[in-house]
Amino acid sequence: MSMAQSRRDFLGMVFGGFAAAGGLAALYAMKRTWDPLPSVMAAGFTTVDLSPMKEGELRTVTWRGKPIFILKKPPEENCNHLPDETKKRLVKIGDSEYLVMIGLCTHLGCIPTWEPEKKIFHCACHGGEYDACGVNTFGPPPRPMDIPPFKIEGTKLVLGEEGPEYKKLVGKA
Amino acid sequence: MAHFTKANSVYEWLDQRLALTKLWKVLAAEYWVPKNINFLWAMGVVLMTMFTILVISGIFLLMYYKPDTKLAFDSVNYTIMQEVWYGWLWRHMHAVAASVVFLVIYIHMLTGIYYASYKRGREMIWISGMLLFVTFSAEAFSGYMLPWGQMSYWAAQVITNLFGGIPFIGDDLVIWIRGNFYVSDPTLTRFFMLHVFLMPIIIMMLIGFHFYSLRIPHVNNQEGEEIDFDAEAEKYKAGLKKESKVIPFWPVFISKDLFVLGVFMIFYFYLVFYHYDFAMDPINFDPANPMKTPPHIYPEWYFLWSYEVLRGFFFNVGPLSAMDMGLIAFGIANIIFFFLPWFDKNDEVAPAAKRGGFFIWFWLLVADMIVLTIWGKLPPTGFNAYIGYVAAVGFLALFAALPAVTARKKGLLSLVILVTLALYIAGYLEYTKALGNGIVIIALFAIFYLLFFLNPVFVKNRGGAQ
């Protein structure tokens, strides 16, 4: 009697274990099926030549479907008002300094608009504001606009690769 | 094998094999409903009809819709709207039904709250109904993406971004949900699948479960009277129809239901033919453009209240950013109704008008949700931001106060009210920039959330009149 019972328990556990393993494998396959495809991952690089840009000009380029703001800063606007650790948001490429950041509001991902006369980025979705250095000054945005991984090649900017300048900027080096 | 005799008719032949007579009795002819109910109890049948209309009109739209970012917009706005005969009718019926279905859901929910139909054995009815609310919300959101207009796109962008607020896995989760770094083709096709297959299947199963959950506790009535359904049914079957407190679903109750449904359908088709534009945002007639955000983004009217809770917090409190607080409040707002049976500490089943302070609580909740809905559509600039804050904190405060209100604990209720008022003043000082991220606000929020989460656990049940 007890023999039969323990044999039945054993069979139950074997069956349960088998079913659980199969279920986990299926869940993993389902998770992977929803992952971005290799072609999507590979298309993640954008190269921009910055030499034709004028001082004070804002250019928007696309990288991974996101707008990237590139602002060539006039020398007098070097973000000195920021405390030391965030001052380094400027990138020196050639002789000029640039602000390179992902042009999405860090609140919920709308695209802020650059208002050149007020020198602010204004997000129309929830009223967030950023100063000319991309630092949040009003409203719900929790942090300054993000800096995308980049590499500098002469006067060219390669988005999607982590160069030494990027690592220095975000404190990874 | 069971014993079968020769059948004398097709019905009898089927009855022997499928027990049709018994099934019909169980589901309709001897399914007992209290007499003492009003038109608000017809909302279930109205919802069922609306869902059927959504499925049928959806089938016709599905035959021409193309779930591809290059084709979707034109397949809706050109093919369906201009080429397919009566394509405009299916689209307008689908869009209007999707909108009014939420109106009826809200009436249905508020009826349940007003008449206390969520407690004393009816908790599972309430929970299955709330699950339906959540799945209908997911269905509406995924469907709104399909025409691939500007509002579709940016609503998808904003809502999928919300998952980025989850600690540690947030950023990767957003990419996983979208199937790309941004909302794009894989996002559209997977939400298309959710909208036309997975969510409808889940909704149908939940509707079945919602109906089933009614069988044992039965439908509530206008006075919250406890009815002996078996005894009353016997009276009815014995011919004492006048004395009995119940009526059968078929054909008696359904005739009342169908009358209410008829009135509602006049309203519905009036909207479909003459005012379909309210469910069709003009911004959504611009094709989706990932590089250009519309100046002002807002969801459809039925999501505005929770959207306003999300953006109601406009200042940081110590380590918590405004966005984190908005996300936490939004998360709470979306699940808090599930816990209503446990936040209500009174066992008494009676209409709100007979439940003292609860009556005031109910109408404050309705008023607050209306304010949230109106301000959810306004741009959150200037004083609007402060009103949004007051209404969002007010929504949470109402739930924090509910255990004290229903258990009649005046001291505790005063405490909740005082803390809420202090939060309003602190918020105003913050709005006028008169106060930094002071320790006072942090302490106030800490007390507030403490009251919110611990209140329902520590306040004892107050037994109602048996």
The mean pLDDT value for B164-174 works out to 89
What residue type is B36 in one-letter code? Answer: N
**Cβ contacts of B192 on chain A, cutoff 8 Å:** none
pLDDT digits (tens, 9 = 90+) for B236-288: 999 999 999 999 999 999 999 999 999 999 999 999 999 999 888 999 999 99
- Residue at A22: amino acid letter: G
What distance in Å separates residue A165's CA from the closest CA in chain B?
23
Provide the shortest C-alpha distance from residue B87 to chain A (in Å).
32
Candidates B177, B180, B293; nearest CB to A65 = B180
Residue B403 neighbours by CB under 8 Å, 6+ apart: B343, B344, B345, B409, B412, B455, B456, B459
Give the closest residue to A101 by CA, choosing from A58, A48, A159, A145: A145
**Cis peptide bond prior to B251, omega within 30° of 0:** yes
Distance CA A93, CA A70 (A): 12
In this prediction, what percent of chain B has a pLDDT beyond 90? 78
Q: With pLDDT > 70 as the criterion, what percentage of chain B qualifies?
A: 98
Give the contacts of A77 (CB within 8 A, at least 6 positions apart): A119, A132
d(CA A3, CA B272): 70
Question: What is the nearest CA distance from A13 to chain B, expressed in angstroms?
Answer: 30
Chain B partners within 8 Å of A40 (Cβ): 179-181, 186
R_g (Cα) of chain A, nearest Å: 25
pLDDT digit string, tens, across residues B92-106? 999 999 999 999 999
The confidence score (pLDDT) of residue B466 equals: 37
CA distances from A125 to A140, B154, B181, B435 (A): 10, 10, 21, 26
Residues of chain A neighbouring B322 (CB-CB closer than 8 A): 139-140, 142
Give which of B307, B144, B333, B437 is closest to A107, Cα–Cα: B307
- Angstrom distance (rounded) from CA B165 to CA B351: 40
Q: B166 exposed, middle or buried (CB, 10 Å; 0-12, 13-18, 19+)? A: middle
Across the A:B interface, residue pairs with CB atoms under 8 Å apart total 88
* Among the listed residues B71, B50, B115, B5, the one whose alpha carbon sits nearest the alpha carbon of residue B265: B50
DSSP single-letter state for residue A76: T
State which H helix or E strand residue A42 sits in: helix A38-42
- pLDDT tens digits, A84-137: 655 667 887 877 888 899 998 888 778 898 988 888 899 887 788 898 888 888
Dist CA B85 CA B79 (whole Å)? 10
**A67:B177 CB<8 A:** no
For chain B, what is the mean pLDDT? 92
Which of A59, A126, A159 to probe by mutation at the B interface, max B CB count within 10 Å? A126
Cβ–Cβ of B291/A34 closer than 8 Å?
Answer: no
CB contacts, 8 Å: B314 with chain A = 127, 139-140
* A-chain residues near B297 (CB < 8 A): 110, 124-125
Contact (CB<8Å) A62/B326: no
Given a cut of 80, is residue B28 above it in pLDDT?
yes
Q: Enumerate residues 6+ apart whose C-beta is below 8 A from B127.
A: B338
In this structure, what are the phi and psi dihedrals at residue B304, rounded to the nearest 5 degrees?
Answer: -60, -40
Q: CB of A78 within 8 A of CB of A152?
A: no
Contact B132, B193 (CB under 8 A): no
Residue B31 and residue B284: Cα distance in Å, rounded?
46
Q: Which of B154, B176, B326 sits opposite A35 (nearest CB)?
A: B176
Nearest CA in chain A to B178: A36
Q: Which residue of B has its CA nearest to A122?
A: B295
What is the residue-averaged pLDDT of chain A? 84
Place of tokens 């896995």: B169
Task: Work out the pLDDT band at B124, boundaries 50, 70, 90.
Answer: very high
Give A122 to chain B, closest Cα distance, Å.
10
C-beta atoms of B313 and A143 within 8 A: no
Q: Is the pLDDT of residue B454 over 60?
A: yes
Report DSSP state, residue A49: E
Higher pLDDT among residues B232 and B378, named by residue:
B232
Per CB-CB distance under 8 Å, the chain B contacts of A135 are: none
CB contact under 8 A, A127 and B186: no
Distance CA B358, CA B352 (A): 6
Q: What is the DSSP string of B412-454?
A: HHHHHHHHHHHHHHHHHHHHTT-S-S-HHHHHHHHHHHHHHHH
Read off the pTM. 0.89
Residue A81 confidence (pLDDT) above 90: no
Encoded amino acid at B109, one letter? M
Of A40, A66, A110, the CB nearest to B293: A110
d(CA B375, CA B387) in angstroms, rounded, equals 8
Asked whether the beta carbons of residue B311 and residue A141 sit closer than 8 angstroms, the reply is no
Tokens of A33: 């099926």
Write out pLDDT tens, residues B389-417: 999 999 999 999 999 999 999 999 999 99
Q: Does residue A164 register a pLDDT over 80?
A: yes
Q: What are the tokens at B274?
A: 């003459």
Q: What is the mean pLDDT of residues B178-195?
A: 95
Specify whether the backbone of B137 is left (phi greater than 0), alpha (psi in -120 to 50) or beta. Answer: alpha
Q: Tell me, what's the pLDDT at B241?
A: 93
The answer to whether A69 and A134 have CB atoms below 8 angstroms apart is yes
pLDDT of residue B228: 94
Cβ–Cβ under 8 Å, residues B358 and B398: no
**pLDDT above 50 for B141:** yes
Instruction: Report helix, strand or coil for B234.
Output: helix
- Cβ pair B181:A124 closer than 8 A: no
Length reported for chain B: 466
- Closest-CA distance, A58 to chain B, in angstroms, reads 15
Tens digits of per-residue pLDDT, B287-338? Answer: 999 888 887 888 999 999 999 999 898 887 777 778 888 999 999 999 999 9
B231 with B44: CB under 8 angstroms? no
pLDDT of residue B265: 97
Taking an 8 Å cut-off on Cβ atoms, the answer to whether B179 and A34 are in contact is yes
Q: Quickly tell me which residue has 């039969």 as its tokens.
A: A4
pLDDT bin (cut points 50, 70, 90) of residue A29 is very high
Return the beta strands (E) in chain A as ranges.
Answer: 46-49, 58-63, 66-73, 90-93, 96-102, 113-115, 120-122, 129-130, 136-138, 150-153, 156-159
Distance from CA of B72 to the nearest CA of A (A): 19
Q: Which band of pLDDT confidence, cut at 50, 70 and 90, is reported for residue A72?
A: confident
Residue B53, pLDDT > 60, answer yes
Specify which residues B243 forms β-bridges with. none
- Identify the weakest region by mean pLDDT among A143-157, B37-51, B119-133: A143-157
Please give the average per-residue pLDDT across B452-457, as a whole number: 82
CB contact under 8 A, B190 and A34: yes
Considering CB atoms only, which of A65, A110, A139 is closest to B184?
A65
Distance from CA of A63 to the nearest CA of B (A): 10
Contact B381 A37 (CB under 8 A): no
Instruction: Count each helix (H run) and each strand (E run) in chain B, helices first.
Output: 19, 2
For residues A72 and B11, give the distance between their C-alpha atoms in angstroms, rounded to a whole number: 83
Q: Chain B residues with CB-CB distance to A under 8 A?
A: 154, 157-158, 161-162, 175-184, 186, 190, 290-297, 311, 313-314, 316, 321-324, 326, 379-381, 385
